[in-house]
Amino acid sequence: MDFITVSSAGPITTITLNRPEVMNCINPAMHHELQAAFDAFAADASQFVAVVTGAGERAFCAGSDLKARDLGAAYPASGYAGLIERFDLDKPVIAAVNGLALGGGFEVALACDIIIASETASFGLPEPLVGAVALGGGMHRLARQIGLKQAMGMILTSARVSAADGMRLGFVNEVVTPDDLEAATLRWCEAILKGSPMSIRASKQTVMRGLDEPSLAKAIANQTRYPAYAAWRESEDAREGPRAFAEKRAPQWKGR
């Protein structure tokens, strides 16, 4: 990997955008490196949570590298950054936003399940200011996550909002000092890891697929048909949880 780094600590994978000299802007090669990193995370049975962050102190990701942009280059199979069209990833992904998250960088953060932001972070879709359109899922996700009027206000004015405003609007989960970002992100990971990985995956898939159902009634009626539900029902974890409770001990989750 030339433009990202990937590391693991126990069941946590950390994917770091590693071009701090250009605010971690994404060039064509990075898209494919990120595709490979998320593919590996998805396929690794020992990895349960992913964290995405940026190198340095200035930026999480300031979007696409316009100087390196190749209009003829195709995005990888899972779309921009190998993530924004990765609709089959049921493992949780956390964005640890350490600075600017603009354009495609904001779209990457919005594609994650949880956003933890430094007080120095800011977010926006400024594509119209350079004659572009935010087609990496940001417009659709923002409208779904904070509501139409608030999303249109940000999108049509190319507004940049602070981490505190992101939390007020509802797309940021927690705001911390820059020095506390790593510890806060680990705290969220550890809280997730207390639950069965199979239950977590079934929960994420049920929420996301349920949002695509035409009504609440259909979402409830169809939830037992989702693949992650079936995998959870037949899993070792589904048997381990009640057994550990009855034996008054901590469960030993296998993620299978």
How far is residue 20's CA from residue 42's CA, in Å, rounded to a whole number?
Answer: 26
Number of other CB atoms surrounding residue 137 within 10 Å: 19
Please choose, from the candidates 141, 147, 43, the residue with its C-alpha nearest in 3D space to the C-alpha of residue 84: 141
**Residues pairing with 122 in the sheet:** 100, 162
Classify 176 as helix, strand or coil. strand
Active site residue: 21, 57, 85, 107, which one? 107
Which of 21, 33, 127, 236 is flagged as catalytic? 127
The SS3 call for residue 155 is: helix
Mark whether 107 is an active-site residue: yes
Cα–Cα distance between 183 and 167 in angstroms, integer?
A: 19
Whether the Cβ atoms of residue 20 and residue 54 lie closer than 8 Å to each other = yes
What is d(CA 166, CA 123) in angstroms, rounded to the nearest whole number? Answer: 8
| CA 233 and chain centroid, separation | 26
Catalytic residues: 107, 127
